[in-house]
């Protein structure tokens, strides 16, 4: 499918008319659209809720792979959280991404079932210096300080799991941890806030994305610059609380997306940010930052976390290899 081919060997229209086709067909005539598919393994693949070894893999479970803690302000929907397997499909055309997920679920019917899914659009972070910074549904540029692929040293340090980092999970070397968090945004309440307050909550201007301390979007913020009632970048602003300077230098590779899932029961938009991040260790690169954000970030007044999951993503596959071979072999 990532090469633009059918999901099965026969295809959606070439098989026998008295048998179901081995491809569902909604991608007929569409290109591969840059489709990528990423797989991850959740803690439930290794042990059940009682700690019992499910498939003889418990002794290979990474030490950091577990159910994420319940953070302050979490209002989790169990039907949109957790899971044994993760499949993330990304494409320039959403129909191509949906086609991939649909066909993988169809092929796995009887062995696996979809626990939950989330369709996102308009990525909310840049992953390359060649890209312009997109905006989230609050209207602000999002992911300005994200790790870029050109920052090879930082990618190695903060994204990929190093060989020897976890002796019982050496299969994960060259892979990463995927954190998924579903942030519902209180859109209607946010839209009634003044522009000045919105910028104070974020710590950046809404126009250019420059820090309130001045400069351009990529100018390093000055968190000590005085303002009329304190620091010009408020101490509870989002960019200050998640900045590496206040989190032992930790950074993460974000691959989040906006979502709008219709309306909620009170007539507001069921919308927000489907936050996805890749980190070398969630214990050092995500959990402390999320705790700080949940407790002190002014932005949290307008956010509600309704979904949460953590997965271990094995290294990429080479010719003749299958996904997770380093774990299952």
Contact 33, 92 (CB under 8 A): yes
Supply the pLDDT for residue 241: 97
Mean pLDDT of the chain: 96
Domain ranges of the chain: 63-81+118-328
Mean predicted confidence (pLDDT) in 66-94: 95
Confidence of residue 224 (pLDDT cuts 50, 70, 90): very high
- Check: CB of residue 177 under 8 Å from CB of residue 66: no
Q: What is the pLDDT of residue 73?
A: 83
Provide the β-strand partners of residue 308: 181
Looking up tokens 């309306």 gives 263
Q: Is the pLDDT of residue 266 over 90?
A: no
The 3-state secondary structure of 52-72 reads CECCCCHHHCCCCCCCCCCCC
Model-level pTM? Answer: 0.95
Q: Are strands 36-41 and 176-185 parallel, antiparallel or unpaired?
A: unpaired
Answer for the pair 46, 65: CB distance below 8 angstroms, yes or no: yes
pLDDT for 34: 97
pLDDT tens by residue, 105-127 = 999 999 999 999 999 999 888 89
Strand 176-185 versus strand 269-279 pairing type: antiparallel
The per-residue pLDDT for range 281-327, each reduced to its tens digit, is: 999 999 999 999 999 999 999 999 999 999 999 999 999 999 999 99
Q: Binning pLDDT at 50, 70 and 90, where does residue 18 land?
A: very high
Per-residue pLDDT tens over the stretch 66-79: 999 999 889 999 99
Question: What's the confidence (pLDDT) of residue 264?
Answer: 87
Contact 221, 203 (CB under 8 A): yes
Contact 27, 129 (CB under 8 A): no
Q: Which residues contact 31 (CB under 8 A, 6 or more apart)?
A: 4, 93, 96
Give pLDDT tens digits for 174-208: 999 999 999 999 999 999 999 999 999 999 999 99
Give the span between the Cα atoms of 229 and 324, in whole angstroms: 54
Backbone phi and psi for residue 71, each to the nearest 5 degrees, phi listed first: -85, 155
- Assigned token pair, 99: 């086609």
Helix or strand (DSSP H, E) at 269:
strand 269-279
């Amino acid at each position: 499918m990532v090469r633009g081919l059918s999901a099965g060997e026969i295809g959606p229209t070439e098989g026998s008319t008295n048998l179901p086709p081995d491809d569902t067909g909604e991608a007929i005539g569409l290109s591969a659209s840059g489709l990528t598919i990423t797989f991850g393994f959740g803690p439930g693949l290794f042990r059940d809720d009682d700690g019992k070894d499910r498939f003889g893999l418990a002794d290979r479970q990474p030490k950091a792979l577990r159910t994420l803690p319940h953070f302050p302000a979490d209002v989790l929907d169990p039907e949109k959280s957790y899971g044994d397997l993760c499949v993330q499909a990304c494409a320039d055309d959403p129909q191509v991404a949906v086609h991939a997920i649909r066909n993988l679920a169809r092929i796995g019917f009887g062995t696996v079932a979809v626990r939950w899914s989330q369709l996102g659009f308009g990525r909310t972070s840049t992953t390359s210096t060649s890209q312009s910074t997109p905006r989230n549904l609050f209207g602000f540029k999002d992911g300005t300080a994200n790790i870029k692929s050109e920052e090879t040293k930082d990618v190695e340090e903060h994204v990929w799991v190093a060989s020897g980092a976890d002796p019982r999970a050496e299969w994960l070397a060259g892979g990463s941890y995927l954190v998924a968090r579903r942030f519902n945004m209180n859109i209607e309440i946010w839209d009634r806030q003044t522009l000045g307050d919105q910028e104070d909550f974020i710590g950046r201007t809404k126009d250019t994305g420059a820090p309130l301390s001045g400069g351009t979007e990529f100018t390093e913020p000055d968190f000590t610059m005085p303002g009329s009632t304190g620091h010009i970048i408020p101490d509870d602003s989002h960019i200050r609380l998640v900045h590496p300077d206040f989190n032992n230098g930790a950074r993460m590779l974000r691959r989040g997306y906006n979502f709008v899932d219709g309306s909620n029961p009170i007539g507001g938009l069921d919308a927000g940010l489907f936050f996805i991040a890749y980190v070398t260790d969630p214990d050092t690169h995500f959990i402390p930052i999320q705790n700080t954000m949940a407790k002190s970030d002014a932005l949290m007044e307008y956010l509600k976390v309704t979904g949460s999951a953590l997965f271990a993503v094995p290294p990429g596959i080479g010719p003749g290899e299958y996904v997770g071979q380093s774990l299952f072999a």
